[in-house]
Structure 1
Amino acid sequence: MFEVGQISHPGRKRLLNEDTYDLDAGPGVAVVVDGMGGPDAGDVAAAFVRDHLRKALQQGDSPADALRSAGQALRIQRPQKSASPSGASAIAARYSDGVLDLAWVGTCSAIFSDGRQYRRIQSDAEAKGSMKNGVANAIQALGVTATEKLCISEARITLKRGECVMFCTDGMLETCSGPELETSLCDPRLSAQESVELLLMHALRGEANNNLTALLLRLS
């Protein structure tokens, strides 16, 4: 069973929150989406991707296949007609029998903590050094990048009791330093919800130019 912490905030500079997330504990499905698009409604694109990913994962698609189908569906649903196209970065995950499978594209990230220290979850390609700092992935977006050109990162981790994974949009990591992440994610006295609320508090003390979203799952 997971203890859940969840938070989403527009940040200090933006009126519109284009981030969204979803969690279905039954089939062990989690999704975080960071929309983009300004006048072309990044929040609408993010909601579309969120709903598509949840349905695809519930139907048994792998996280990577769910991302590909969501990107293709968004390109069909919202053809790009302006210089500021609408799209989304996203991370999708499924948990089953102690194993978490996840995939992501764009600027969303996953952070793992064993309760003592934390680390950003890397794809196999990143771990082997064939993708330098995720740069190739960061410039892409569902609905904007053609499906066959999507650079989707994948990872599989085994979770033990007390360990947690946080899925978040880039705004959260841009404004929180290493010590702040450690304080929020590695203090056993904090509940999962208290952890993400503390992280949000740290973020809002800074510039917080972007939307801020985090979904934390701790295996209890």
Structure 2
Amino acid sequence: MKQVVSHAQTHKGLVRKLNEDACLDLADSGVWVVADGMGGHAAGDIASQLVVDTIRLAMQRGEAASVNLITQALHQANAELCRYSQQHLDGHTAGSTVVVLLLDKVHYHFLWAGDSRGYLLRHQQLRQLTRDHSQVNDMVEQGLLSSSEAEQHELANVITRAVGVDPHVSIDIVSGVWQPGDLFLLCSDGLNKELTDSEICQYLAHSNIAEANRALLHSTLVAGARDNVTCILVKVNNDPQNVNDKDKTIPLFMNN
């Protein structure tokens, strides 16, 4: 029987006084979420938690998890955050980036808004499957900046899309067929600000994903952790002997 193993963690980092990240590990529903409250905006921690809670509540209503259900939940969270900003923050923005992973019987789906990322490690090759909704990423795609210049650019923290910022939010989706052995990473930008994709890939080589995830966080802290750091690892595992009891393990699609 194929199984899914997952491990989630979040940390405020070494500079920020408050953790404005939030995460959700609903392995039994095949859903994982990372939300990053927008730094410099009012109530970023409230915004990220509202996004996570809205998805959690949607999953508790008994309907099977789907791209449509998660998209509706994100639009609901967007509307609620816009109302919250008007009613409690004098119109100041309470916003959050978000990345969601959904695994169904055959496919994986990443849904996102902002610069929280989704990666896939397959056959020792790490690929970022999401596209950052950010000012510098737009400049890189237009050929105005190189990827190496983008990380240090003065506009590196300017995102172009997030939940709660505008009355309507556009959610991007990328899908594919998962394979046994696939390892997915969801993270807030506090991880990729400190570690390169190559460094991240090296840590993901560990056979125990809980240990791999803890190593990711430790290395981010050693590097200075200037921002909040959240990362979730999700592995589709077809070898029950390779599952560690410290990881959260569930049969995949046991009702089908």
Q: Place the TM-score, normalised by the shorter chain, in its bin.
A: 0.7 to 0.9
Query: Partner residue of 1:33?
Result: 35
Contact preservation (8 Å) 1:37, 1:85: no
Find the aligned partners of 1:208 and 1:196 in 2 and give their Cα distance.
Answer: 15
Higher Cα Rg, which structure: 2
> Secondary structure, in 3 states, of the residue corresponding to 1:78?
helix
CA distance 1:202–1:133, change in 2 (3 Å): farther
Q: After superposition, where does 1:122-161 map in structure 2 within 5 Å?
A: 122=130, 133=141, 138-147=159-168, 150-161=169-180
Find the aligned partners of 2:105 and 2:49 in 1 and give their Cα distance.
Answer: 29
Q: Percent identity?
A: 26
Kindly state the Cα deviation for residue 72 of structure 1 after the two structures are TM-superposed: 1.2
Find the aligned partners of 2:106 and 2:4 in 1 and give their Cα distance.
Answer: 11
Find the aligned partners of 1:116 and 1:178 in 2 and give their Cα distance.
Answer: 12
> Secondary structure, in 3 states, of the residue corresponding to 2:54?
helix
Query: Partner residue of 2:230?
Result: 213
- Aligned length, in residue pairs: 209
Contact preservation (8 Å) 1:64, 1:154: no
Contact preservation (8 Å) 1:38, 1:84: no
Name structure 2 gaps, 5 residues minimum.
Answer: 132-137, 143-155, 238-256
One-letter identity of the residue aligned with 1:74:
L
Find the aligned partners of 1:111 and 1:103 in 2 and give their Cα distance.
Answer: 12
> Secondary structure, in 3 states, of the residue corresponding to 1:202?
helix
Kindly state the Cα deviation for residue 36 of structure 1 after the two structures are TM-superposed: 2.3
CA distance 1:23–1:139, change in 2 (3 Å): same
Contact preservation (8 Å) 2:44, 2:96: yes
Query: Partner residue of 1:2?
Result: 4
Q: After superposition, where does 1:108-127 map in structure 2 within 5 Å?
A: 108-122=116-130
Spell out, residue by residue over 1:25-58, the C-alpha distance to the aligned partner (whole angstroms, 9 max, x if none): 2221211110126573211121111110222355
Find the aligned partners of 1:209 and 1:73 in 2 and give their Cα distance.
Answer: 29
TM-score with structure 1 setting the length: 0.84
Name structure 1 gaps, 5 residues minimum.
Answer: 124-129
Query: Partner residue of 2:73?
Result: 66
Spell out, residue by residue over 1:86-138, the C-alpha distance to the aligned partner (whole angstroms, 9 max, x if none): 21111123211031122100111101001411010046xxxxxx997599x93
One-letter identity of the residue aligned with 1:25:
A
Query: Partner residue of 2:109?
Result: 101
Contact preservation (8 Å) 1:105, 1:138: no
Find the aligned partners of 2:186 and 2:41 in 1 and give their Cα distance.
Answer: 27
1:92 equivalenced with 2:100 (yes/no): yes
> Secondary structure, in 3 states, of the residue corresponding to 1:5?
strand
Kindly state the Cα deviation for residue 174 of structure 1 after the two structures are TM-superposed: 0.8
Find the aligned partners of 2:42 and 2:159 in 1 and give their Cα distance.
Answer: 21
1:184 equivalenced with 2:186 (yes/no): no
CA distance 1:92–1:133, change in 2 (3 Å): farther
CA RMSD of aligned residues (A): 2.6
